[in-house]
Chains A and B, each alone.
Chain A
Amino acid sequence: MQNMSLGKNSIVVDKISKRYDGFSLDNVSFNLPKGCIMGFIGENGAGKSTTIKIILGLVNPETGNVSVLGDSAQNGDIREDIGVVFDEGCFPDEMNADNLRSSFKYIYKNWDSNVFDDYLKRFAIPHKKNMKDFSRGMKMKLAIAVALSHKAKLLVLDEATSGLDPIVREQILDVFMEFIQNEENSILLSSHIVSDLEKVCDYITFIHEGKILLSKEKDLLMEEFGLLKCSKKELESMPKDAIERVRENQFGVEALVKRNKIGRNAIVDKATLEDIMLFMIRGNKVC
């Protein structure tokens, strides 16, 4: 790991591996630059949560290193600067928002109760209602309010938008966009709802069966790949190195292709992030 990459990156994941029964993370590496939002995508069970747990120091990797804001996430001072939202919410059902405020002001040195109250107002979260009566959307919004109320520089969200309605998701994505206006801040957002990530992310890291398939700027990724719909015979006439993945259907074939290698004669449609993900997972490689 180079010092230069530590300075400009909020997260540096360097060749981490971890084995479990029936699943393993294999040589996972990627960097999250400061001032950026990274979408961490992959199907359920691909290794997103395990990677995030390793980044946060909740699980120890067997090999490799992780740097968060230039140090380990197990360092208490670094944890002051990290806001985390898990998909479970993680706050006891018997507590309400005011109770959380009273507790967290003694936990985080930089806790700002005014900022917390502002988020409660903005998200329309009641102060006195117990969390057991909250919807999943309210629990997530409350967790995000906590994560943003102690002047965190890095937000890590594990499936925080999954299972939420589009209105709540958009409200949350707006908050992320505001957070990222400060160039020192960054967000690692894991989700399998790729349409959300397509809206807000600067970088995309795609994990599949414990391996990183790609990690690059979203715009470059969208420029690099396109969708080609043609017959099987037409596909055979295309340059092999331009075809990334192929899926056959009753009308012919659909291929995820590299725009810069396919040539000008082919009509290539725009590939969405979801298309890229689906082709990478379910498409066949051309031999």
Chain B
Amino acid sequence: MLGLMIKDVYTMKKQVKMTLVISLFYIIFSIADNNIGFLSFVSMFANLGILLSTFSYDEKSHWDKYARIIPVSYQKVVASRYAEILFVNVFIFIILMPISFFVKRPEQEILEVLSILVAVICVGVILLAIMFPIIYKIGMEKARVMLFVIMFIPICATVTLGKLDLGLNMSHFLKSPVVNFISYHLYIICPLIAAAFFVLSYKISKTIVAKKEY
């Protein structure tokens, strides 16, 4: 498994450099504007730019086929990719946490900043957890289309709901005790949801790869 991850590190080196440059750009923006919202782009670029590109390189070189004839079980081949999600996101958290606290506005509480950061990272993990089984099933090229669909569905749904006059009293809804509880415990709730997606996704991916023929 270690050998596979080392191979991915070498494969991703170009993407890592590019992501670092783009991240630096957004971190500077974030500091200049005192807005931690820009840091969410860092998480997205790292997750999508680095981790999904490994699938592209593997598909292009037919490494997937080769990976099934080396003495590493298919479970470990899949596990190595999921371990990379964890490593990348722990790294993102370690880098972005001090920057977030530095960038935060005086009126923002530390817990609020932590919740935003954790939520942003968990969204990235959930997105990858949805994408990985799709990539294993249909391949990276076709899965790109799915990525756009997955990303745009929530945006389109939000915009559409906003335009529809459903007679909802949003301010009343946002002040409800349930929403209040959730917003104060996002730093716990988000990782739990992401973990559930992550585990389920790993199991589905394993099943897909076990049945896959090359």
Contact = CB atoms under 8 A, between A and B. Distances in A.
Q: Are A and B interaction partners?
A: yes
Given A95-B10, A99-B7, A90 B62 contact: yes
A80 interface: yes
A75 to B, nearest CB: 9
A24 to B, nearest CB: 15
A79 B68 CA distance: 9
Interface string A85-98: 01011111111000
Interface string B75-105: 0000000000000000000000000000000
Interface stretch (B53-61, B141-149, B194-202): B53-61
Given A102-B6, A106-B3, A107-B3, A92 B72 contact: no
B35 interface: no
Contacts of B58: 92
Interface stretch (A5-13, A55-63, A178-186, A239-247): A55-63
A104 interface: yes
A58 B214 CA distance: 5
Contact of A92 (B6, B61, B214): B61
A160 interface: no
A76 B14 contact: no
Contacts of A105: 3
Contact of A79 (B10, B71, B213): B71
Interface string A2-38: 0000000000000000000000000000000000000
A176 to B, nearest CB: 19
A78 B14 CA distance: 35
Interface in A31-90: 53, 56-60, 73, 76-77, 79-80, 82, 84, 86, 88-90
A123 interface: no
B60 A103 contact: no
Interface string A101-113: 0111111110000
B11 A94 contact: yes
Contacts of A95: 7, 10-11
B4 interface: yes
**Which secondary structure characterizes the binding site on chain A?**
loop
Contacts of B57: 92-94
A86 B3 contact: no
B138 interface: no
Given A82-B69, A90-B61, A94-B11, A104 B213 contact: no
B69 A102 contact: no
Given A58-B214, A59-B213, A95-B10, A109 B63 contact: no
Given A59-B214, A79-B70, A103 B6 contact: yes
A107 B70 contact: yes
A73 B71 CA distance: 10
B111 to A, nearest CB: 41
Nearest to B76: A76
Contacts of A94: 10-14, 57
B181 interface: no
Interface in B5-51: 6-7, 10-14
Contacts of A86: 62, 65-66
23 contacts: A53-B214, A56-B69, A57-B68, A58-B213, A73-B69, A76-B71, A86-B62, A86-B66, A88-B61, A88-B65, A89-B61, A90-B63, A91-B66, A92-B10, A92-B11, A92-B60, A92-B63, A94-B14, A95-B10, A102-B6, A103-B3, A108-B70, A109-B71
Interface of A: 53, 56-60, 73, 76-77, 79-80, 82, 84, 86, 88-95, 99-100, 102-109
Given A58-B214, A94-B12, 7 more contacts: A56-B69, A77-B71, A82-B69, A90-B66, A92-B7, A92-B11, A92-B60
